[in-house]
């Protein structure tokens, strides 16, 4: 098997250790001195190299340099995640603190795995990025492909059933609610490598159950997409897209 890799649990555990070093709120282990943190990051860098060496499809690469490059990029991952935390705390009235977001919010958990997986994907690491996002998917119900491009201040509220496809591009300050699908209009193997998924520009909110499909579909900056909308064509900036059907409520007093 040319793509043999270490067990999924071992790979996910490595990523969890990275996340917990960045956010000790998720761990019972505390570090008093900077040199202790440095030692832990060096240990995780060595573990990543071992994972890459054990991945058959990556045995002829400079895995030492790849591991080093990943950890050189960890400050940027941390910066992006901090902005995601800010967006979630600012955007959710139920959030009492940023500590609560880090410790309890499934959206942040899934985004954490995505940010790590995406960094590895950019370094052309095979399969491991997908294993990481699928671990996040199985834990939260939020499915984000590691190749998707997602900028800062990203917020997923509730989150269950969210799907973000491989070639999706998401701008800054975007909020998705549960059940949102950013998918392909149709699926065929010949489309591999082409943009099949939508582009969502900055400052967009997409409400629960909305489905947005197609690589040519662009949701313009500042738009609001209402719940359960089915969208397969672009909308200009500052659009509001919603269903117009009436909901009628009849109330009658029943005599006794």
Read out DSSP for 126-165?
Answer: -SHHHHHHHHHHHHHS-EE-TTSEE-SS-EESS-TT-EE-
61 and 163 fall within a common domain: no
**Residue 82 has what pLDDT?**
98
H or E element that contains 237: none
Tell me which residue of 130, 18, 3, 15 sits closest to 54, measured CA to CA. 3
Q: How far is CA 109 from CA 46, 92, 136, 143, in A?
A: 24, 16, 7, 12
Q: Which of 142, 157, 186 is the last residue of a domain?
A: 142
> In degrees to the nearest 10, what's the CA dihedral of 180, 117, 89, 27?
130
Interior/surface letters 170-201, b for 16+ CB within 10 angstroms, e for the rest: bbbbbbbbbbbbbbbeeeeeeeeeebbbbbbb
What pLDDT is stored for residue 186 in this prediction? 77
Give the range of the structural domain holding residue 196, as residue numbers without chain letter. Answer: 148-241
Domain count, the chain: 2
Q: How far is Cα 142 from Cα 107, in angstroms, rounded to an integer?
A: 8
Is the same domain home to 70 and 162?
Answer: no
* Residues β-bridged to residue 149: 169
- What local confidence, expressed as pLDDT, does residue 1 receive? 44
Looking at the fold, whether 30 and 136 belong to one and the same domain comes out as yes
Task: Tell me whether residue 6 is exposed, middle or buried, using C-beta atoms within 10 angstroms of its C-beta: 0 to 12, 13 to 18, 19 or more.
Answer: middle
255 domain residue, yes or no = no
Residue 214 lies in a domain: yes
Run means of pLDDT, 10 residues per run, the chain, 256 residues: 79 96 82 85 96 83 95 98 98 96 96 98 95 97 98 97 98 98 84 88 98 98 97 97 80 62
Judged by DSSP in three states, 225 sits in strand
Q: Are residues 194 and 134 in the same domain?
A: no
> Tell me, what CATH number does 233's domain have?
2.160.10.10
Same domain, 112 and 176: no
> How many CA atoms lie less than 13 Å away from 197 in the CB half-sphere?
21
What pLDDT is recorded for position 72? 98
Query: Does 246 reside within a domain?
Result: no
């Amino acid at each position: 098997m040319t793509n043999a890799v270490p067990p999924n649990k071992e790979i996910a555990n490595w990523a969890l250790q990275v996340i917990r070093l960045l956010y000790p709120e998720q761990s019972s282990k505390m570090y008093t001195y900077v040199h202790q943190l440095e030692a832990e990051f060096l240990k995780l860098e060595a573990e990543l190299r071992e994972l890459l060496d054990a991945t058959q499809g990556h045995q002829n690469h400079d895995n030492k340099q790849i591991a080093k490059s990943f950890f050189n990029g960890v400050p940027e991952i941390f910066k992006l995640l901090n902005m995601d935390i800010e967006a979630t705390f600012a955007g959710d009235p139920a959030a009492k603190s940023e500590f609560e977001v880090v410790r309890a919010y499934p959206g942040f958990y899934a985004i954490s795995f995505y940010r790590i997986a995406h960094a590895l994907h950019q370094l052309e690491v095979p399969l491991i990025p997908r294993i990481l996002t699928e671990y996040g998917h199985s834990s939260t119900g939020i499915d984000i492909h590691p190749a998707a491009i997602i900028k800062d201040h990203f917020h997923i509220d509730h989150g269950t059933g969210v799907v973000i496809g491989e070639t999706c591009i998401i701008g800054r300050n975007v909020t998705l609610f549960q059940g949102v699908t950013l998918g392909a209009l149709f699926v065929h193997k010949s489309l591999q490598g082409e943009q099949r998924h939508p582009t969502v520009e900055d400052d967009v909110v997409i409400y629960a159950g909305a489905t947005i499909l197609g690589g040519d579909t662009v949701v313009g900056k500042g738009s609001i997409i209402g719940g359960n909308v089915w969208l397969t064509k672009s909308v200009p900036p500052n659009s509001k897209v919603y269903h117009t059907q009436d909901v009628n409520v009849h109330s009658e007093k029943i005599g006794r």
